[in-house]
């Protein structure tokens, strides 16, 4: 069965996880998760792999990058 892709914020809400709890599960600093949620950074490849694994593929690389690209200001 294919996992349905979703944004990280949706994954956290659906699984009743705080950013801090998820950060501990993934093995990153909570600030990293907050920056991803706010779209202020694109995750490093290593962290992206950890997030995808921790969500069992429900959050994809495209989902993680989408938040950042949506934050960009129009020219």
- The 3 state secondary structure assigned to the chain is CCCCCCCHHHHHHHCCCCHHHHHHHHCCCHHHHHHHHHCCCCCCHHHHHHHHHHCCCCCCHHHHHHHHHHHCCCC
Q: How far apart are CA 43 and CA 33, in angstroms?
A: 9
Domain 8-71 class in CATH = mainly alpha
pTM of the predicted model as reported, rounded to 2 decimal places: 0.81
Q: How far apart are CA 74 and CA 57, in angstroms?
A: 31
On the question of pLDDT at 74 being above 60, the answer is: no
Mean pLDDT of 16-39: 95
Residue 45's pLDDT band, with cuts at 50, 70 and 90, is very high
Q: How far apart are CA 15 and CA 58, in angstroms?
A: 11
């Amino acid at each position: 069965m294919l996992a349905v892709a979703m944004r990280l914020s949706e994954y956290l809400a659906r699984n009743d996880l705080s950013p801090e709890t998820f950060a501990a599960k993934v093995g990153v600093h909570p600030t990293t998760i907050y920056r991803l949620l706010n779209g202020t950074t694109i995750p490093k490849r290593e962290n992206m792999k950890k997030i995808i694994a921790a969500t069992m593929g429900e959050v994809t690389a495209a989902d993680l990058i989408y938040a950042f690209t949506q934050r960009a200001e129009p020219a």
